[in-house]
Structure formats: structure tokens, C-alpha cells
Amino acid sequence: MADINSPLEIGVTTGPIRGSRKIHVGPHRVAMREIVLEPSCGEPPVRVYDTSGPYTDPAATIDIATGLPLLRRPWQMARGDVEAYDAREVQPEDNGLKGPDRSAGVPAYPNTIRRPLRAKAGGNISQMHYARRGIITPEMEYVAERENLGREFVRKEMDGNSWGAEIPEYVTPEFVRDELARGRAIIPSNVNHPECEPMAIGRNFLVKINANIGNSAVASDVAAEVDKLVWSIRWGADTVMDLSTGRNIHDTREWIIRNSPVPIGTVPIYQALEKVGGIAEDLTWEIFRDTLIEQAEQGVDYFTIHAGVRLPYIPMTAKRVTGIVSRGGSIMAKWCLSHHRESFLYEHFDEITEICAAYDIAYSLGDGLRPGSIADANDEAQFAELYTLGELTKRAWAQDVQVMIEGPGHVPMHKIKENMTKQLEACGEAPFYTLGPLVTDIAPGYDHITSGIGAAQIGWYGTAMLCYVTPKEHLGLPDRDDVKVGVVTYKLAAHAADLAKGHPAAQVRDDALSRARFEFRWRDQFNLSLDPETAEQYHDQTLPAEGAKTAHFCSMCGPKFCSMKITQEVRDFAAKQNAPIQTFVAVEEAEAGMAAMSEKYREGGNELYIGANGREQD
């Protein structure tokens, strides 16, 4: 077992991603990553959104036992609307049935905030509340700076189909405020998670992705979980959910939050269930409420609450092929059945909302009745719950509490759009947060791909955040490699959605990489890709020689022929001749032009450079 007090033993990965450097922009020193290109190309560095926190900053000192700096604390105090108080005492049951299991190597976190903050009595410190009062917070300014990434390079005309979203050419703090006020975006920001770098989840911002971590009764431990947190944000996770169950839940979560620069989400019912020995029917509102307070004080930024699983909807799942597949949903279904009562989450919803308002915790209204198979997609149970989530959204908004809505699941492509349309209509444009969806059930072992296909599409249609799926989905617990593959797959799906929506900054990186490909700048290609290590490894498997990285050829055509080079020739002629470019020319006209061009060609000597690059076969 690793010595938890040693970051090295925990194996957290630090240091910059290859070819990149950390920069800080604007008055709030917003962290971004800059990919530096070969001087030969004369192109500026490419700025990319950076979720990795101080772990990729060579200047930062990382000490897992101390935690990250409290970035937001000054902003919070300056608002003068919070009070510190004595934290609820940690109970043995907070760490699972038999209490903390030290043998599993989870000591209490050495640097816990003993005096958490909350809104002064009767107050509301949610970002939505400030926004509705016309206040632009530093969090909103930070988000505006962060989202504008690379827009300065961008040509003005928008290209894309955003399906009715209202993506601005440039994000101003006022735009962020307005989106928050309207409930179209959220900034998850529990007052007790001051380490968090503000980020926005909303249809008119860049599409975000979430990575799930968490131990389970069967495997894993806290060292591995902290490592997975740092590893997943290194590759691009915008938020992380701690889905731990079993023992040491409280302590594990503390280690994670204190070291997380991204919002942390949880499903509080998981921990509540542990407190009652795993017997769903023994759950009570009091135990659940106590768990919310416990997690609120630790700094959880958003809660998945399955308040839409109402008693009358449960029979609608009876004829399904896979019934209820959401763990939270099935816990509540079991409780409702055994007590033949309406869900206590639904009945106490407004009280939960009060807690959220006091700490600025965002709702992630859970889709406990989402389909777990193609056969069950878009059925009555699913949409009955969705419309209830819409009703609850309005109730949360009445208290100025931030809300996003969780979505499926397993959905064939032709039924994906309906999910987005109904969600926008039922939930007043509150951000949609979906798991996939998987577009077929027949590929276990490849469900990061079956779900990446659905995720890219629903992201294009307007989903604000995509919950990743790893290759181990349905089969086992993801290891470090699975987490990376899941994150990179979702990052590319989210980016594909940004491109299709016509996000002004999105294409900058594609164009830079494609120019590097055309110009044989291999290292730039690797560094501009989502996973530089893998790109270089694959290249080297065929052409290991260091020289091959600068050579003007690749293994696809070999050192004999180059399609890219021919384009360069076409380009040269066109330039010399001022031949008509990008405008359709009649055959005769062009042939005339080409005759002259060909003369020049022969004069110039028509030797080909060696090799080819970026060609696709055929």
C-alpha cells in the first residue's frame, strides 16, 4: 500500500504535456496551455483549453497532503455574504458500514478545512443568484476569459449548424452573467471548494466532458483514485464525479476534493445507502439530509439527485428489456416500492434546494429511469421522468439554484435528436448532461466508441456536457489506461460537436494540425494532437528512425511518391498564372490556362520530392 502522504507514492503525474507550456492570461491569471510550433512555420502557438490545473505547471509545488491553493477564497470573502462555522463531526458511518478501514490505507485527510463556509442565515450565494441581481462575479470573468481561447485568430464568418443555440462571436463577462441568470449555463462552485478553477457548462459554451472515478466494494483505493483524478484532468476532463461506494467514502472524497482544480460531482444517495447497511428501504430523509450537509461541507460542487423517479413511473419500467439500470434510480425505486410512498427526494426537493443555495451546489437532476438498452430508448418511463425534471428545474430556479439535467444512456441514432428537443422544451434550456448515448448494445469492450458516436451527435444538437464511457463499461472497473482512452475519446467527440455547432474558436486547432501534416512537421502533428505520446508511438512503430520525424515522407507511400508535393506544384502554377482559384471555370477556359501552365512546369523541371505525407489510401 502506498504511503498516502507521499505524492510520488501516489504516482500523480506532473509536468507539462509534451510540446506545451502553461500560460496565465488576464487579471485573473486564467490557466491555458500553449502548443509551441516549429519556428520554420512562422505560426503563432496554438492555445488550447486547459483542465489540468497546477499539475502541468513546472513552477507549481505539488503536495497531495496539503492540497491545491485556494484560488477562489479571496473572491468569496470579498462578497461578505458567507460565515464560517464548526463543521459537522465526521461519524464512523460516514466512512462505510464498519467505519474507516485504515488497513486499506485511507487516513483522514491531514489538511481538512475544519471551519467550512456557508451563506449567512437565509442568504443565497449561488452564481445564479448573483447573476440575477446583475452582479458579474470574478468566477464569471474567469469563465469568459477561459472560453475565448483562440478566438482572436478566427475569421469572422461562422460556419456550422448550432440547432438554435446562440453562440456569441466573443464571450463577455456580461454574456456569462446573462446565461447564468437565464439558467442556460451553470458554474459549479461550492463555496467549500475554493481550489476549483471556474468553468461553465452550457449550450452556448464549449462542450465539456466528465470523467467518473471512485472506488467500489470490489476494488481500488484512495491512492489510485487521486491518481485517476489527476490523470483524467491531464487529458481533458472538465469535471470529475466521485462515485465511490463501500468503505472510506468520506476520507476518499476529501483527498479528491482538496486536490481537484475541477468541479467534483457525487451521487449522495450512494453514501446514504452505505449508512443504512445497503438496505434501500431503511433510507430516511434525515439520513439523506445529513449526508448532503456532510458533502456540502467538504466542497462537492454538484449533486446528482434522482428526484424524478416518482412512484407512479416505476410500473412503466416493468416491460423493459433492461428495466432500471441507474443505480440511484433503482435505489429510489426500491424505497418507493417497499414504502408504497412517493420518493422522499421529490417530497423534500425544496429543502434540498435550500442547502444547495447556502453552499452554491448545482443540481445534476439524475435520470434514474434512463434506458439501459436500445429496446428501451425514448420510452414512456424515460420521458415521464424528464418532464418531472423540468418541473423540478423551475422549482430550483425559483430559489436561484443552478441546475443541469442528466440524460441517457442507450439510444439508436434516429432517436437521439428527440431526447435533446424534449429536454430543451421540458427543462427550459437548462444544460443537458448525457451519458453517451450508446448507439448499439452489441459491442462491449468498445463502448467508449459506441457511446462516443452518440455523444458527438447529441453534443452537436446542444448537450452541454458529455459523461465519458470507458472501454470497460458493462464489464469491469476502468484502470488508468481505460480512463485515458475514455477521456480522449470524449474530448474528440466534444470537439467534433464544437466544430459542427460552428464554435468560432473550434477549427483553429484542426487547421494548425492539418497545415503541419501538409508541411511534414511531424513533431507539430504529434504535439497538436489530443494524445501526443500515442501519435508518436504509432508513427515510430513503422518508422522508428529519428530522421523520419523530419523526413519529407511517411510510411503510407514510402520514399517514392508524394501527393502533398503535387499540391504544392499545383499551387505554384496557380500563383504564377493567377489561374482562377475557388471559382468554377469552364473546361475550355481552364484548358487554355493549363496549356501555358504546363510550359512553365516543364521549364521549372518536374522532379518530385521524395515521399508523401498525410495521404489516405486510395
Q: Which amino acid is at 93?
A: E
Check if the beta carbon of residue 237 is closer than 8 Å to that of residue 487: yes
> Is residue 549 near a copy of itself by the rule CB under 8 A?
no
With contacts defined by CB under 8 A, name the span among 5-13, 134-142, 389-397, 449-457 that binds a copy of itself. 449-457
Q: Is 545 in the site for a copy of itself (CB under 8 A)?
A: no
Q: Which three cell numbers stand for residue 46?
A: 496554438
CA 440 remoteness from chain centre: 23
Residues 6+ apart with CB under 8 A from 579: 573, 590, 593, 594, 597
Length of the chain: 618
534 interacts with a copy of itself by CB under 8 A: yes
Residue 36 near a copy of itself by CB under 8 A: no
Q: Cα(473)–Cα(451) distance, rounded to whole angstroms?
A: 10
Q: How many CB atoms lie within 10 A of CB 502?
A: 16
User: Between 226 and 500, whose beta carbon lies closer to a copy of itself?
Assistant: 500
**Which of 87/276 has CB closer to a copy of itself?**
276
Q: Examine residue 480 and tell whether it contacts a copy of itself (CB under 8 A).
A: no
User: Which residue of 268, 299, 323, 486 would you call a contact of a copy of itself, by CB under 8 A?
Assistant: 323
Question: Contacting a copy of itself (CB under 8 A), which of 8, 70, 77, 321?
Answer: 321
Q: Tell me how far apart the alpha carbons of residues 411 and 435 are, in angstroms, rounded to a whole number.
A: 10
Is 474 annotated as ligand-binding?
yes
Contact with a copy of itself (CB under 8 A) among 390, 460, 463, 464: 460
Look up residue 384 and give its amino acid: A
Instruction: Select the residue interacting with a copy of itself from 315, 394, 398, 425 (CB under 8 A).
Output: 315
Q: What is the closest distance, in whole angstroms, from the C-beta atom of residue 160 to a copy of itself in the complex? A: 5
> Rounded CA gap, 17 and 34, in Å?
10
Pairing of strands 46-48, 30-35: antiparallel
Closest CA to 181 of 401, 456, 416: 401
Quote the least distance from Cβ 295 to a copy of itself, whole Å: 15
Contacts with a copy of itself by CB under 8 A: the residue count is 169
Cα of first residue to Cα of last residue in the chain, in angstroms, is: 53
CA angle 386, 392, 397 (to 5 degrees): 130
Q: Residue 514 interacts with a copy of itself (CB under 8 A)?
A: yes
Closer to a copy of itself by Cβ: residue 81 or 511: 511
* Side-chain-facing half-sphere of 192: CA atoms under 13 Å: 28
Q: Are 363 and 396 in contact (CB under 8 A)?
A: yes
Contact between 558 and a copy of itself by CB under 8 A: the answer reads yes
- Out of 185, 361, 435, 458, point to the residue binding a copy of itself (CB under 8 A): 435
Q: Candidates 60-68, 135-143, 226-234, 579-587 — which segment interacts with a copy of itself by CB under 8 A?
A: 579-587
Smallest distance, Å, CB 549 to a copy of itself?
Answer: 11
**Cell numbers linked to 150:** 483562440
Q: Which is nearer to a copy of itself, 35 or 401 (CB)?
A: 35
Sign of the Cα torsion 607, 610, 615, 618 reads: positive
Centre a 10 Å sphere on the Cβ of residue 293 and count the other Cβ atoms it contains.
17
The verdict on whether residue 433 carries a ligand-binding annotation is: yes
Residues 108-167 that bind a copy of itself (CB under 8 A): 160-161
In the window 382-401, what residues touch a copy of itself (CB under 8 A)?
Answer: 384
Among 441, 480, 523, 552, binds a copy of itself (CB under 8 A): 441
369 labelled binding-site residue: yes
Of 581-600, binders to a copy of itself (CB under 8 A) are 581-587, 589-591, 593-595, 597-598
Which helix or strand (DSSP H or E) is residue 265 part of? strand 264-266
Hey, which residues does 23 pair with through a beta bridge? 32
Residue 212 marked ligand-binding: yes
Residues annotated within a binding site: 212, 241, 270, 306, 326-328, 367-370, 406, 410, 433, 474, 554, 557, 562
Binding site for substrate, by residue number, is: 212, 241, 270, 306, 326-328, 367-370, 406, 433
Task: Tell me the binding residues for [4Fe-4S] cluster.
Answer: 554, 557, 562
